[in-house]
C-alpha cells in the first residue's frame, strides 16, 4: 500500500494489520468442521468464469458468510460460495458472489486488490511446514498470489513476487466500478497448476490439506465493507491457518 492509499484508507491499514497479526498470538479453540470432499474430474474444465459445466454440480457448495468485520452491521450479509474440484493437472476454484455494487480496485497483478471487492483462497498443504499460499481474485480477473514461507518471514511485500501460473476468468452481472447502478453479482473461476505447490505436477491424492475461503465486499449499501469467511470466525483473521478446514482430494 502506498502513502496515498494509507492516507485515504486508514481503516484498511488497521484491518490488514489485524489479518496478519495471527503470527504473534496463540491459536483460539475452533468448532469442529467436516472435511471438504473435493471430487476428481476426468476432463479439464474450460476456465471461462461461468461455472456451467456439469462437473461443478458434483462439488460441495461452501458458504462464505461468516462475518469477521464489521461486528455490528445491520446490512444483510451478501450470499457467497466456493466450490473445489481437481484433476491430474489443476486445482479448480469456483466462486459465486452476490454483490449490488461491484468494484475492482486495480488491474495490476499482485497489487493490493483487497482495497476493492475480491474473493480469496488460502491453502496450507502440510501441517509440518510453515509454508502457506494466498490467492486473491478481483471481479475484473486480476490476480494476487503469494507463497509465504511463514507468517513471520516478511509478509506481503516480500512474497507477492512469486507466481503460481494460475488462470483466472470472471463473469460480472452488472457494471464494475459504477456505483450509480445496481449490480447482481459476479463469478470467479480459477485453475491452479499443481506445480504451484510441488516441484512436479503431482496431485495430492492421499494427503489432507487445509484451506479457508474469504471475501472483501465494498458497497454503497454498507457503512463499512464486509470481510467474510468460510471458516468459523476467529479474531486472528484470514491468515490464521489453525482455524482452516480440512480438504480431502477424493478419487
- What 8-state DSSP symbol labels residue 61? P
pLDDT tens for each residue of the chain, 251 residues long: 433 343 344 344 444 444 444 443 444 555 678 999 999 999 999 999 999 999 999 999 999 999 999 988 899 999 999 999 999 999 999 999 999 999 999 999 999 999 999 999 999 999 999 999 999 999 999 999 999 999 999 999 999 999 999 999 999 999 999 999 999 999 999 999 999 998 667 788 778 999 999 999 999 999 999 999 999 987 789 999 999 999 999 98
- Domains of the chain and any CATH numbers: 3-250 (2.60.40.1190)
Q: Tell me what pLDDT residue 234 has.
A: 75
Q: Rounded to an integer, what distance in angstroms lies between the CA atom of residue 94 and that of residue 46?
A: 12
What's the CA gap between 215 and 15, in Å, rounded?
Answer: 13
The SS3 of residue 60 is: coil
Q: Please tell me the predicted confidence (pLDDT) of residue 30.
A: 55
DSSP string, 152-189: TS--HHHHTT-----EEEEEEES-TT-TTS---EEEEE
Distance CA 89, CA 105 (A): 31
List of residues 6+ apart from 148 with CB closer than 8 A: 131, 132, 133, 134, 155, 159
Backbone region of residue 187 per phi and psi (left: phi > 0; alpha: psi in -120 to 50; beta: other values): beta
Helix (H, G, I), strand (E, B) or coil at 104: coil
Which of 42, 39, 46, 56 lies closest to 205, judged by CA?
39
pLDDT of residue 8: 40
236 backbone dihedrals φ, ψ, rounded to 5°: -85, -20
Q: For residue 224, how many other CB atoms are within 10 A of its CB?
A: 15
Query: Comparing C-alpha atoms, which of 204, 214, 246, 212 is closest to residue 40?
Result: 204
Q: Are 205 and 219 in contact (CB under 8 A)?
A: no
* pLDDT at site 29: 52
| Cα–Cα distance for residue pair 7/127, rounded to 1 Å | 38
Amino acid at each position: 500500500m502506498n502513502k496515498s492509499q494509507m492516507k485515504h484508507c486508514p481503516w484498511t491499514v488497521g484491518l490488514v494489520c489485524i489479518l496478519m497479526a495471527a503470527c504473534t498470538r496463540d491459536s483460539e479453540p475452533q468448532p469442529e468442521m467436516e472435511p471438504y470432499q473435493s471430487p476428481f474430474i476426468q476432463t479439464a474444465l474450460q476456465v471461462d468464469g461461468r461455472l456451467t459445466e456439469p462437473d461443478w454440480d458434483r462439488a460441495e457448495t461452501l458458504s462464505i458468510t461468516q462475518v469477521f468485520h464489521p461486528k455490528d452491521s445491520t446490512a444483510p450479509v451478501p450470499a457467497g460460495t466456493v466450490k473445489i474440484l481437481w484433476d491430474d493437472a489443476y486445482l479448480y476454484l469456483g466462486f459465486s458472489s452476490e454483490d449490488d455494487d461491484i468494484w475492482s480496485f486495480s488491474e495490476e497483478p499482485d497489487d493490493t486488490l483487497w482495497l476493492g471487492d475480491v474473493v480469496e483462497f488460502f491453502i496450507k498443504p502440510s501441517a509440518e511446514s510453515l509454508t502457506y499460499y494466498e490467492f486473491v481474485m478481483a471481479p475484473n480477473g486480476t490476480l494476487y498470489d503469494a507463497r509465504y514461507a511463514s507468517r513471520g518471514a516478511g509478509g506481503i511485500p516480500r512474497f507477492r513476487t512469486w507466481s503460481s501460473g494460475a488462470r483466472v476468468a470472471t463473469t460480472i452481472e452488472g457494471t464494475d466500478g459504477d456505483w450509480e447502478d445496481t449490480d447482481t453479482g459476479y463469478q470467479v473461476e480459477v485453475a491452479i497448476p499443481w506445480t504451484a505447490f510441488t516441484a512436479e505436477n503431482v496431485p495430492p491424492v492421499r494427503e489432507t490439506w487445509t484451506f479457508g475461503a474469504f471475501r472483501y465486499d465494498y458497497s454503497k449499501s454498507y457503512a463499512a465493507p464486509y470481510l467474510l469467511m468460510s471458516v468459523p470466525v476467529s479474531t486472528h483473521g484470514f491468515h490464521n491457518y489453525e482455524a482452516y478446514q480440512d480438504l480431502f482430494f477424493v478419487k
